[in-house]
Amino acid sequence: MPGLFTRAPLAERYPAAVALALLALCPFLVLSTAFPLFDTELVRDLGTSMAGTQVADGLANAGYAFGAVAAADLIQRLSSRTLFLACEAGFVAGSVVAAAAPDVTVFICGRTLQGVATGMLLVAALPPLVTRHGAQRLPTTAMFVNLGLFGMVTLGPVVGGVVGTAHAWRQLLVGVAVVGLAGLVMGVLAFEADSPEDVQRGMGFDWSAIPVAAAATVLPFLGVSWLSGGLFGLPGFLVPLVCGLAALVLLVVRQYRKAEPLMPVRLLAHTLPVTGVSAAMVAGAGFTALVDLVLTYLLHVTRLPPLAAGGLPAGQIVGVCVAAVLFRAVLRTRWLPVLTFAGLAGVAAGGALLLTVAPGRAFPVVAGAGLLLGFGAGAGVTPGLFMAGLSVPSNRLGPTFALVELLRSEAAFLLAPVLLHLAMTGGDLAHGVWVSSLVVVVLTGAGFLVLLGLLLLGGVRPHRPDVAAWLSGESAAFDSPPLAATLRDVD
């Protein structure tokens, strides 16, 4: 008789599958934008410096990016259900460790475990949700994925403001552990077991990817974490950053050239997926940097309390909900790339509006910018992720998500600390925030133009994705031309 850990009585229930994925991903994503609202309490309670809390955030984000790649490797040899349950248990353990941490070292260990577990859960939980419930439900699934990925990120400042006001960061982490435990229970009840042929037990450890991916995530994130205690020219920042980025380039090139790669870089090296991945990187990096900058401005320039500072940009939540609804409407149409570019424009417009912020008019400016930024993130990141995913066979969706999240995380969580440090080291914080926001606007606008040019040079004709064929696992939904296909035709 099948045991508890092989039976899933709710496996065929679509609401249970959605709940399972959201419970797995949302807690860590909420924390990613909540911590800046009570970092001074962490410094006091853990007996550390701001650099210590930055290292905790940096290694948690590095763990998230690395966990996605590690899961793409492990899922070839382990049952995805077993991997999900193990990672959900690991997330609960990391949350408990962080909540009970007596010092910053233990706290860093707990936060890092949270990040690794969530990155692995992304690869274990999202592909089954996307591919196992039919073409008709795919748009609704994509909407929930969008709300889960960026809806929770936009909720983070509100949660952080409440926690910062109540001086309850340990209680927050206990609550996160409870949510993770609910996800574990839901996994037991609803995660369908793999068939034996789905698990390739003969696959070996990918020595060309996993160690290099560890260096590509840990080194640069650790480097930028030290910025709060030093300058850009210090070896503690430059050496790990340069070495880590070199490892990332090596990883991508090696995966492109490998006959049987862990991540399908060659399959993604076409016009639509390159455009989608790049758009997700630019929109995610711009959004993350601007949210950090606006929270810093509200806390340290306008001197708002945490509750007000976290609540003021709450228009993000409305913006991402609007984007999610539009995403559901356009996913199976030819307008998906248009929505992705609209997301880039939304991030740029939100940043441009923030250039006009001043203490006397912070409320309307930040509220409006929050709405635009939420829409930009929701319309630019997850649609870009799906542009890539629909451009490869669905049986390669997990490794594709791993690669996209690796690149997106590198862009978002490296740019934001650099620009925040730039803003805080110029003497005049208000002016520093303005300069860093301008950098984001310029980079996002330039990314919009470059990627639009890339799309046009590829000669992409707007067309509907063949979702039914894609769900069969053997073909892509989009017919994506090679990069610069129109120039090749001229030659």
Task: Using alpha carbons, select from 377, 210, 180, 142 the residue that is nearest to residue 281.
Answer: 377
- Note the helical H segments in 75-168: 80-99, 104-131, 138-146, 152-166
Cα 116 from Cα 70, distance rounded (Å): 9
Residue 66 is predicted with a pLDDT of 95
| Span 293-337, pLDDT tens digits | 999 999 999 999 999 999 999 999 999 999 999 999 999 999 999
Predicted confidence band at 174 (pLDDT cuts at 50, 70, 90)?
very high
**% pLDDT > 70, the chain:** 94
CA distances from 61 to 28, 100, 143, 256 (A): 10, 20, 24, 25
Instruction: Judge whether residue 208 has pLDDT over 80.
Output: no
Looking at residue 275, its pLDDT comes to 96
Q: What share of the chain in percent tops pLDDT 90?
A: 71
For 397-416, write each residue's pLDDT tens digit.
Answer: 999 999 999 999 999 889 99
Distances (CA, A) of 221 to 225, 274, 293, 368, 417: 6, 24, 18, 31, 9
3-state secondary structure of 184: helix
| 8 Å CB contact between 1 and 128 | no
Mean pLDDT score, 281-290: 95
pLDDT in tens, 139-166: 999 999 998 877 888 899 999 999 999 9
- Asked which of 14-18, 262-266, 433-437, 472-476 is least confident by mean pLDDT, the reply is 472-476
Residue 411, token pair as written in the block: 């862009």
The confidence score (pLDDT) of residue 149 equals 79
225: exposed, middle or buried (Cβ count in 10 Å: 0-12, 13-18, 19+): buried
Question: How much is the pLDDT for 193?
Answer: 73
- Per-residue confidence (pLDDT) for residue 59, from 0 to 100: 94
Q: Please report the pLDDT score of residue 203 as a whole number.
A: 56
Considering the chain, what is the average pLDDT of its residues?
90
Q: Residue 415 in contact with residue 282, Cβ under 8 Å? A: no
> Tens digit of pLDDT for each residue in 213-266?
999 999 999 888 877 656 666 777 889 999 999 999 999 999 999 888 889 999
pLDDT value of residue 204? 64
More confident: 212 or 150: 212
Cβ atoms of residues 334 and 462 within 8 Å: yes
Q: What is the pLDDT of residue 78?
A: 84
42: pLDDT strictly greater than 80 = yes
pLDDT computed for residue 484 by the predictor: 84
- pLDDT surpassing 60 at residue 491: no
Please give the backbone phi and psi of residue 430, each rounded to the nearest 5 degrees, phi first: -60, -45
Quickly tell me which residue has 């909420």 as its tokens: 30
Which among 142, 148, 138, 150 has a CA at the least distance from the CA of 375? 150
Least confident of 233-247, 316-330, 349-363, 450-464: 233-247
Residue 331 phi, psi dihedral angles, 5° rounding? -55, -40
What's the pLDDT at 43?
93
Residue 200 has pLDDT above 90, yes or no: no
pLDDT, tens digit (0-9, with 9 covering 90-100), for 69-95: 999 999 888 888 899 999 999 999 999
Cβ pair 459, 438 in contact under 8 A: no
DSSP 231: -
pLDDT at 2: 43
